[in-house]
Structure 1
C-alpha cells in the first residue's frame, strides 16, 4: 500500500506538468488569436465607420493609403478613399465589397486601372475618379458595373488617341448622360482642351499629322484659356448622401462655371465673391442648399437666384451686404431658412423691400437681420426699425368715412388754411379744402 501511494505521488507531478503545457498551449493560441483580432480592429479603426439612413459608410479619406487593405468591413454601402496615395487599381481590388453603391477615389495618384479592378461591384451606381493621373482607360474596366449611373473622370491628363476610343464611345451613349462630363483631352496637341463628350470619335485613330498642321512650337504646352473658374477642377464632388459640390476656401472671385447639373448642395463659403450677377445658378435647378457665407459679397443683382425654384436654405451671413435690390428674392418660392447675420445692414428706405418680402413669406425662418447703420439705429432689429419708420407718419384727423360702390374706403378730411401771401387784403380769408385719401 505504501508502495502504491509512493508511485502515485511520483506520477502526479508528471501529469500536472503535461496538463499545464496543454493549458499553456491553449492559452497561447487564444492570446495569439486575440492579438490578431485586436490587430484587425486596430487597423480598421484607422478608418471611420458610420451609418446614415440605413446605409453603412467607411471613411478612409486622407490616410496616406497606397492600396486597399484587408480587415475592412465588407458589408458597407459607401467607401470613401479620397485624398490618399493610391497609384494602381489591381484586379479584384474591391471584389469583397459586393454591397458597394458608391466608391470615391478622387484626388489620388491613380495612373493605371487593371481590367478586372472593379470585379464584383454589380450594385455600384457612383464612381468618382476625378483629379488623378489617368491617361488611358478601356471600356472593359466598366463592364462589371451594370448599375453605374454617375462616372466622374475630369481633371485627368487624358491622351485622346486610338486607345481611348472605346471609353469615349461608351460615355457618349445618350443614356450615359452623367458619364465623363467635363473631362478633357490633355494630348495630343490637336485635341488639347476638347471635351471627351463632344469628340469626333472617328478622328481618334487617324494619325495626328493627317488631321491638322502641327504648330511650330509642338513641344510647348498651349497657354490656358482665360475663362471663369471651373468647378470641375477647383471643387470637390461628393455623391452621397446627396450630390454635393464643396468649393470652400478656393479663393474664388466669381461663381465657378460648369457646376454639375445634378448638384443638390453647393458650398461657396470663405471665398472672395463680391457680386452675384443675373442667372448665376440658372442651370442648377435641383439645388436645395446654397452657402455663400464668409465672402466679400456686396451686391446681389436682380435675378441672381433665377431658376432656384427648390432652394430650401440660403446662407448669406458674414458678408458686406447693406440692402437688397427690389426683386432679388422673388424666385425663391420654397425657401425655408435665410441666414443674414454679420452684414452691415443700413436701416433706411432701401431695406424695406426685404422686410416686405419676409412679411409675405412667413414660413421663412430668418436670422441676423440687425441694423449696422445709421448710428442711431445700430443694434436694432430691422423689423423694429421699419415699425418706427411707419410710426413717424403724421396721423390725420378723421371726420368721417364713406365707401364708394367699388368698395374703396374714402376718408374725408377738412382742413382750413389762411392764404396770407396771396392777393390783396380784401381777397384774403379762410378757405376750406376737401381732402380725400383712398386707402
Structure 2
C-alpha cells in the first residue's frame, strides 16, 4: 500500500546511462542522458523549462514545485512518447494541456496531493496511449467520457485516490485494456455496468476499498479475467455463481474481508482453473468442499477462526503445493486430511491449538520442504510422524509445551538426526518435568527422558517430607511394613550429565517373608 518511491525510477535511469550525461543544450536544472531524454528533479522548479528540444521523446519531472499544466506548457514538444510527473505539486491540469501530444504512448501523473480531478477531454488527443498512471493523487470524481479516446490503452492505474463512485459506462471504449487498478480508493460497490466494454481485461485490482456487497452479475462483462484482487474490502458473503463466468481465472485474492464461510458455490460447482486462492484474515469458521479446484497450487487460509476442518476438504486439490492454515483455532486434524497431496511443498500449521497429531498425518508428503508446527499445544509427537519426508526440508517446532519424558524419545532422536533442518532449534524447549523446564530439547540426554510411575505403582508423595540442612537433603517417607522400596536419586550437573544413586529397601520382618510365600503359592 506504500507509494512507489521515485528514487527507484531515478536510479534506474542513472544506471541505464552510458557515461556522464551530455549537458550540451540540456535545460537548466535538468539532466539529459540521451538527446531524446530529459530528467528534471529540482525541488525548487516552479515551472517546466522552456528550452526543451522538439526532438525529445521522454520527459520526466520528479519532485518539483510545478502546480499547473496550461495549454501552452508542452506545445513545443509534439514528439513526446513518454511523459511522467511524479511527486510534484500539481493542482490543476488544463483540458488542452496534452492536446499537441498525439504521439504520446505512456503518461503518468502520480503523487500530487492537491490534484482532485481531471477534465473530461483531458486525453482527447491520446489515441496512441497504451499506459496511463494516475496514482496517489486526490482524485474524487472521474467524469464520464474521460477515457473515451483511449482506444489503444492497455494499462490504467488509479490507485491511492479518493474515488467513491464509478459512473457507468466509464470504461466503455477501452476495448484494449488488459490491466485496471482501482485499489486504495473509497469505492463502495461495483455492478455489471461498471466494467462494460472491458472484454479483454485480464487483471482487475479493486482492493482496499469499501466494498461490502458484490452483485451476482458483477463480473459478467470481464470473462477474460485471469487475476481478481478484492483484498482489504468489507465483503460479507459471495453470491452463488458470481465467478462462474470467469473460466480463465488463475488468481483470486479475498484477503482481509469479512467472510465467515467459503465453498466452491461461487464458481457454480464447475471445475475451476484457479491456481492461487488467498482467504487470509477473514472470519472463516467453516470451510466446505473445495473439490472443483483441481488446479489449485496455493491456498492461504491463515488468520481465520476455524477450529475444525472436514476430512475430505482437500480431497481433489492434488495440485496443491502451498497450504497455509496458520493462526487459526484448530484443535485437531483428521488423520487423512492431507491424503493424496503428494506434490505439496509447504504446510503451515503454526499458531493453532493443536495438542496431538496422528502418526499417519503426513504419510503422502514425501517431498515436503517446509512444515511449521510452532506455537501450538503439542507435548509430544507420535513415532513415525515425519519418517515419510525424503527430500531436504525445514521444520519449525518451537513454542510448544514439550513434555520431556519417555514419550518424547521419537522426537528427541529425530531432532538430533535432523537438527540442521529445524529452524530456531534453541527455542524448542522442554516445559516439563520441572527439572528440565526451559532446557532445549536437543540438549537433553536420552537417559533423562524418563517417566514417573502411575496408579498403584506410584509412591504416595503426600506421605513424604523433606528437610534441607545446608548442602544436605533429607527425605522421610512412610511406607507399608511389607512394601519394598527402590529410591533413585538423580543429580543433574551443569554440563547436562546425570549422576544416579540407588537405594533399595527390602522388608526384613518374618511376617512379610511368610506373606510373600503365601502369595507365591496361590
Give the TM-score of the pair, scaled to structure 2: 0.42
Higher relative contact order (CA 8 A, sep 6+): 1
More helix by share: 1
**Please, what TM-score do these two structures have when normalized by structure 1?**
0.48
